[in-house]
Structure 1
């Protein structure tokens, strides 16, 4: 059965709404209508909301969003266009893991001197479906009450949809729990990285005199993480998520970085946790972000849990108990480490001031620490950039002991 959807004419004003060309069909059968843009077709995933006012291109190319449909609370998204410099996906051979984007206002043409393409065209190239004209405030209120939603986002230029089939697809979606999405976003082979941060008028720089050798395990790593590692003096080698401890140690690292990534950490942990355990046992300085934080927690015996609505935005307050300062940070995660489950050899270093959830840990018997938020920003504030220096100081400490071979 197919259905053509069209909004009603308002007779007293003569105003006619635009034809419905996109739908968001929730797993409970709710059908939300809007105007489509970007890619054509339909995709099923988890709907979340992001409260950032800027940085939509970085958000939509963050591999940690694989399998998700992003709803922006800020109404004007896409109006500054897109460019190749703000892409965060490190594996440029793959499409973005993001399935779709939901916005309130219709997208206008680009109005920024850095734009090289229209947002609509950029979404098409990356295979993302867009839906505008929705009351995003109502959708966010629903998710705050009922949690993130499984749904299908669909775009058909002719406005014809098989709504019963879309409802069935949404209802039958298994969801994020138990889903290992890392294979969709990790690199297929090892590569080196030396690009440093961007500056206006100069573009990106190069690290030409590194002091440290770092191996980054790619669970869906963001490019700005790699840039900040390089900026901190690291020669970075990125390895696939399935790399073994022997393969990593053969590269003689001063430190190991555990990257961000999508999906259920417990599912990825089936193969990632044994490797991390071996690295921690060898006392290799280790730094984890986001999924890397969750995997480190699992490796030391802690537990992770699915969150009600997750944390997605660039305005999250976090308490750093190592400095007694509050940071405003960028976040993107739907699972969290249970702070109560941390073992005796782990100390909770950061906590969300929104809901009290764990946002960081350090080991007291190993040179290792991790955070749930994204200190590399892109988008977001730069309050937590100091963590990359903390990592190099950890490697300096180990070098002085002669534990790990240097570059």
Structure 2
């Protein structure tokens, strides 16, 4: 909310926030600035841009290390009205049905004949009201020189250019442009109807006519560039607003999460013949970007730079600056279209994609369970069977537990009530001769069994393909020592720790790390043999217990009291990657997630922290080559943005079932489809039946 409320694209609009409780992390200080003296946590320098705020419930006691004020006090200080205890879900339905509507906040119900004096902000030139009045230069000694037309720009657009070495001159919306004074033209976002900005369109047309200087537009800038080349724009019924909207890149067909805030759109049917569509919104198929076929001009409707939003396409700034530098160097430039397609192209690993679809698949089920325990893996296995049956694939299930849904009549084509041990599974493989096997739907028991079978060469012997996440990735995430090394390769950190194999080694490791320490058994179920030790005696007892469950023990530096946060991540064989749900343990670090009270989505994380951990999650999961669903757990310092990665479960976990129930996103079902090398954008959203499953659910409710 600090970002949205200071975003000039929302100028003079009443903003409705659909999440039930707002203000949990307070408001940070506007004195916290970067090296250019720009506020770090807001979208502009002049305070709040919105006309008013409507929320379900306001938090009066925020909890965050950065807060300097409550949301209410911040608004009060700037004279911005707000109202709480409103049924925002019902209000959202009205807006959905009627489109964006005029309204006002009142103290009492108006009488029927009262003139409400509703004013339409779009009837004014909002861009003129909020644009800078004279040029401002950032990073004066930088290169190349970028002229940025300020229609209501977000500060992070300046940061994205300056971080890449550019000099940025921010000019008013109606500034008389001189092509000899800059090397690249950038057109920013802003509020209102693009038709009002005739002066900006005239200046863009002048640059297009007089030079071949590269041009890049974002949001309103996209609409203004489109208008300048002769396209039509139109007002959408509701518009697209949110941090989690999927866009398809036409050159590669890959899907990316984007941040959007627009009520107008470009009519792609009116594009001139030498232009083409660059991106399309996956759900309503509206235009999200255009590009010239040969010249260095392009624009996007979404926000690749968004402060604390998805960073999936921030490389568009690199693409633009590459074109600017190529032109300056006098080289024959590679077209922007070609450069972007090359950067976004992903070649799937041959060991992951299936050359041909299997006819018969073996599923390792949930294993022997106690009543009321770990029914989550019964859920994931059942969903996998359902997904494979839809694809007309024969399913063979091994599960010794008769009291499960997945062993019920009518689900799997054949069920073996046998223990999940390598000996029994090999006998079933020998008898059934399946083409593929799923290891990640039965929890740790099934995973460990699969790893043993692979090491023994059983899958190779019977020509059984491991579907989904490669076995090597599973081993790398389970072996704590290898995991720490692999994570370090991409500049991320796990908590300082050592892998040991005896009590003596455990005591030596603890001396090196310093007490207190946490001991954890590798490859263990439900955190067996884990706990904190404050001294040698406690560690001896813990190590003895843990080494009874596993041959490898991890001694971690104690992070007791830190927050434990986890993300459920989905990735397909073609590198489309999303985070479906994030959760926070009510208990601090040290209580196993399966035994802790969990809140989804996490409450006192700021938008910046949420997206910092989201970006890391996607980076880590891509690095390990996970295909399907997995979760990543973090320890987050409650007094800073310092974090460590605790672990990655390269399988469906207990929290996956919770996340599926919390969000309505069927993680196990989708993961099973992905194991067949089905691209994530091709899978349908199970709730709507028409939109894509390649999206990140946003909740207007809280789950405990």
Structure 2 CA distance, aligned partners of 1:126 and 1:322?
Answer: 46
Q: Whose strand proportion is higher, 1 or 2?
A: 1
Structure 2 CA distance, aligned partners of 1:402 and 1:179?
Answer: 45
SS of corresponding position for 2:27: coil
SS of corresponding position for 1:350: strand
Q: Does 1:224 align with 2:156?
A: yes
Structure 2 CA distance, aligned partners of 1:153 and 1:95?
Answer: 20
Of structures 1 and 2, the larger Rg is shown by 2
**Match 1:239 to one of 171, 178, 200:** 171
SS of corresponding position for 2:24: coil
Q: Does 1:255 align with 2:184?
A: yes
Q: Does 1:86 align with 2:41?
A: yes
**What is the Cα deviation at residue 116 of structure 1?**
1.5
On the 8 A contact 1:310/1:332 being kept in 2, the answer is yes
SS of corresponding position for 2:152: coil
Structure 2 CA distance, aligned partners of 1:127 and 1:364?
Answer: 49
Structure 2 CA distance, aligned partners of 1:164 and 1:402?
Answer: 69
Partner of 1:36: none
**Match 1:211 to one of 121, 126, 143:** 143
Partner of 2:95: 143
**What is the Cα deviation at residue 68 of structure 1?**
1.1
Partner of 2:131: 186
Q: Does 1:347 align with 2:276?
A: yes
Query: Deviation digits for residues 280-326 of structure 1, max 9, x if unmatched?
Result: 22111111000000000000000100001111110100011234321
On the 8 A contact 1:280/1:368 being kept in 2, the answer is no
**What is the Cα deviation at residue 179 of structure 1?**
3.8
Q: Does 1:66 align with 2:11?
A: yes
Structure 1 pair 117–166 and aligned structure 2 pair: CA distance change class (3 A): farther
SS of corresponding position for 1:134: coil
**What is the Cα deviation at residue 106 of structure 1?**
2.5
Partner of 2:253: 324
**What is the Cα deviation at residue 69 of structure 1?**
1.0
Structure 2 CA distance, aligned partners of 1:315 and 1:166?
Answer: 40
Structure 1 CA distance, aligned partners of 2:66 and 2:121?
Answer: 37
Structure 2 CA distance, aligned partners of 1:209 and 1:245?
Answer: 21
**What is the Cα deviation at residue 164 of structure 1?**
5.9
Structure 2 CA distance, aligned partners of 1:123 and 1:174?
Answer: 22
Partner of 1:30: none
Map 1:128-139 → 2, pairs under 5 A = 128-139=80-91
Map 1:264-303 → 2, pairs under 5 A = 264-268=193-197, 270-281=198-209, 282-303=211-232
5+ unaligned residues in a row in structure 1: which ranges?
Answer: 1-55, 195-207
On the 8 A contact 1:213/1:235 being kept in 2, the answer is yes
**What is the Cα deviation at residue 105 of structure 1?**
1.2
Structure 2 CA distance, aligned partners of 1:210 and 1:325?
Answer: 34
Partner of 2:599: none
Q: Whose helix proportion is higher, 1 or 2?
A: 2
SS of corresponding position for 1:149: coil
Q: More deviation in 330-339 or 319-328? A: 319-328
Structure 1 CA distance, aligned partners of 2:289 and 2:231?
Answer: 13
Query: Deviation digits for residues 26-51 of structure 1, max 9, x if unmatched?
Result: xxxxxxxxxxxxxxxxxxxxxxxxxx
On the 8 A contact 2:148/2:186 being kept in 1, the answer is yes
Structure 2 CA distance, aligned partners of 1:306 and 1:393?
Answer: 34
**Match 1:168 to one of 112, 116, 130:** 116
Structure 1 CA distance, aligned partners of 2:229 and 2:100?
Answer: 29
Map 1:46-125 → 2, pairs under 5 A = 56-83=1-28, 84=30, 85-89=40-44, 92=45, 94-125=46-77
Structure 2 CA distance, aligned partners of 1:240 and 1:287?
Answer: 17
**Match 2:287 to one of 341, 353, 358:** 358
SS of corresponding position for 2:186: strand
Question: Structure 2-normalised TM-score?
Answer: 0.44
Structure 1 pair 175–117 and aligned structure 2 pair: CA distance change class (3 A): closer
Question: Structure 1-normalised TM-score?
Answer: 0.75
Query: Deviation digits for residues 195-244 of structure 1, max 9, x if unmatched?
Result: xxxxxxxxxxxxx9733111111000110111011112211111111101
Aligned length: 321
Please give the root-mean-square deviation of Cα atoms over the aligned residues, in Å: 2.0
Structure scoring higher RCO (CA < 8 A, sep ≥ 6) equals 1
On the 8 A contact 2:12/2:121 being kept in 1, the answer is no
Q: Does 1:313 align with 2:242?
A: yes
**What is the Cα deviation at residue 386 of structure 1?**
0.8
On the 8 A contact 1:260/1:290 being kept in 2, the answer is yes
**What is the Cα deviation at residue 128 of structure 1?**
2.2
Structure 1 CA distance, aligned partners of 2:137 and 2:272?
Answer: 35
Structure 2 CA distance, aligned partners of 1:166 and 1:309?
Answer: 27
5+ unaligned residues in a row in structure 2: which ranges?
Answer: 31-39, 333-704
Structure 1 pair 174–130 and aligned structure 2 pair: CA distance change class (3 A): closer
Structure 1 pair 379–71 and aligned structure 2 pair: CA distance change class (3 A): farther
SS of corresponding position for 2:20: coil
SS of corresponding position for 1:328: strand
